[in-house]
Structure 1
Amino acid sequence: MMPLLRAARMLVLMALGACSAEKHAFDRHLAQLRPDTVTALPDMGWPAGTMLCPLSLYQSALAGSAPLAGRVNAFLKKKQFLGGEDWSLIVVRPLPAGEAGIEQLFFKRADYDVLNDPQRIGRDAEKVPAGFAPQTCVTVEQARVLVTREQRAHRKLIIFGTALT
């Protein structure tokens, strides 16, 4: 009877561990930001020259004019990525061409939304400061995030970009 009880306890502990999915450090950082701020990103260990390209809800490809769009879209097409209820961050390390060095991080929809479409930013964002330029893809060295509010729903919006000097 004792081995059966021990096995049952292990199953319960494994199930509890699976239910408590740990948030990525990047997701925790974004969640704690307050509206009406522009901030640099924390050091995530990405090498210099790494490009960050967020994909918002239901977005399955980067706009054709975005830097690295062809390379990233080929990667997404090969993965048969269709977008969905969550957002993701495409991390493109400065490595050889092709899929080498491309990683897609997935994040659950939380108390904020990530936007990268200029029309949606203009329509939905409460305000975009004059010194901030939204970008579809941005290098880690220049990356800034703007936290603002959605005009109608007052949800937090996260917009990737650069600070103008």
Structure 2
Amino acid sequence: MKTVFRAAGMLALMALGACSEEWHPLDRHLAQLRPDAVAALPDMAWPAGTLLCPLTMYQSQLPSSEPLAESVNAFLAQKQFVGDEGHWSLIVVKPAPAGNDSIEQLTFKRNGFDVINEPSMLKLDAVTVPKGFALKTCVPLERARVLVTRLQRTDRTLIIFGTV
């Protein structure tokens, strides 16, 4: 009888898995990282010179101090993008051609972690950053790393884009 229930349970789990959304390779990679690690990003076949700009939940544009903020923010405004609590985005800016054709937005569910992209947020959450790691609002692909850490006051994992 146990075998029948176990088989039925496995079939139910397989059916649920078949109905779930397919994870993006970057999302899957980030979900596998363990806290207190700095890791490279997986090969996503983006061309050399690509910039990666994470947007946190509720963030709908890049800060105006970023060199590409004007073009990225125009792209996001054209899409009528509004950040929300359940998602974060990665803006991928490829080196050519100019204009919206070189900008792509990937949107991800929070999935148990939060993305931070401002130094003030690190101080607010008392995050210890390893020596040599520098948080960046936009990260050159060739030097991109993510810092994974856990907030002590919650069970949330933080993902921080930067360079080493």
Q: How many angstroms apart in 2 are the aligned matches of 1:153 and 1:16?
A: 28
Q: Distance in 1 between matches of 2:94 and 2:65?
A: 19
Distance in structure 1 (CA, Å) of the matches to 2:150 and 2:17: 34
Aligned-pair Cα RMSD in Å = 1.7
Task: Work out whether residues 67 and 137 of structure 1, in 8 Å CA contact, stay in contact via their aligned partners in 2.
Answer: no
Q: Conserved in 2, the CA contact under 8 Å of 1:125 and 1:157?
A: no
2:39 corresponding residue in structure 1: 39
In 2, are the aligned partners of 1:145 and 1:159 still within 8 Å (CA)? yes
Tell me which stretches of 4 or more aligned residues in structure 1 moved more than 2 Å. 15-19
Whether the 8 Å CA contact 1:126–1:151 is kept in 2: the answer is no
Q: Is contact 1:37-1:148 (8 Å) kept?
A: yes
AA at the equivalent of 2:22: E
Following the alignment from structure 1 to structure 2, what is the Cα–Cα distance between the partners of residues 111 and 39? Answer: 18
What 5-or-longer segments of structure 1 have no aligned partner? 1-14
d(CA) in 1 for partners of 2:30, 2:157: 10
**TM-score (norm: length of structure 1):** 0.85
CA deviation profile, 1:41-93 (whole Å, cap 9, x unmatched)? 11110000000001010100011112311110110011111111200110111
- In structure 2, the partner of 1:89 is 90
**Distance across 1 between alignment mates of 2:17 and 2:128:** 40
Change beyond 3 A, Cα 1:57–1:125: farther
Q: What does residue 29 of structure 1 align with?
A: 29
C-alpha distance in 1 between matches for 2:126 and 2:158: 7
Counterparts of 1:130 and 1:38, CA distance in 2? 11
Alpha-carbon distance in structure 2 between the residues aligned to 1:90 and 1:126: 24
Q: How far is 1:125 from its partner?
A: 4.7
Please tell me whether the aligned partners of residues 125 and 148 of structure 1 are also in contact (alpha carbons under 8 angstroms).
no
**Structure 2 match to 1:9:** none
TM-score of the pair, normalised by structure 2: 0.85
State the distance in 2 between where 1:61 and 1:138 align.
16
1:10-159 matches, within 5 Å, as 19-84=19-84, 85-159=86-160
- Matched residue pairs, number? 149
Amino acid at match of 2:67: P
